Amino acid sequence: MLEKATKLAAAVAVVFGAATVVSGARVLFGDGAAQAGNYVPFVLWFNFLAGFVYVAAGIGLWLRRRWAPMVALALALLTALVFAAFGAHILGGGAFEARTVAAMSLRTFVWVSIAALALFSFRRT
C-alpha cells in the first residue's frame, strides 16, 4: 500500500513538474507574460527552475533512489521559503496576482505531502 502511494506521488511530481516547466516557459520565453499579469519574477523563476527538479524527484521516487526523499524535502522547504519571501513582497506593497497565492499554497502543500510520504515510505523499507 505504501509503495503504491509513493508511486502515485512520484507520478504526481513528474506531471506537476512538466506542467510547471511548460507554464513557466510560456511566461518567461513565450507569449504568456501579458496573460500572467502582475507576476513576481523571483517566484516565477524559482517555480520554473524547480519544475525540472520536480521531474527528477518524481523519477527518483519512482525508481526508489535513496536521494529522492531528501530532494523532495528540499523542494518542500525551498518552496515554503519562496512562499514566505512572496508574502514579504506582498506585505511590502508589491504587486501580485491572487492566483499566485493559491498556486504557492498548492505547491507547498503538494511538496510537504510528497516529502512526508517519501521520508516515511523510505524509512520503512
Nearest to 50 by CA among 29, 28, 71: 71
Please tell me the total count of domains within the chain: 1
Structure-block grid coordinates of residue 24: 513557466
pTM for this predicted structure: 0.93
Cα distances (angstroms) measured from residue 53 to each of 1, 18, 22, 59: 26, 10, 14, 10
pLDDT tens digits, one per residue of 19-40: 999 999 999 999 888 888 999 9
> Sign of the CA dihedral 52, 69, 102, 97?
negative
Could you tell me the residue range of the domain that residue 56 belongs to? Answer: 2-124
51-86 residue pLDDT tens: 999 999 999 999 999 999 999 999 999 999 999 999
DSSP state of 92: T
Q: Give the percent of the chain with pLDDT over 90.
A: 89
Q: 44 and 27 in contact (C-beta within 8 Å)?
A: yes
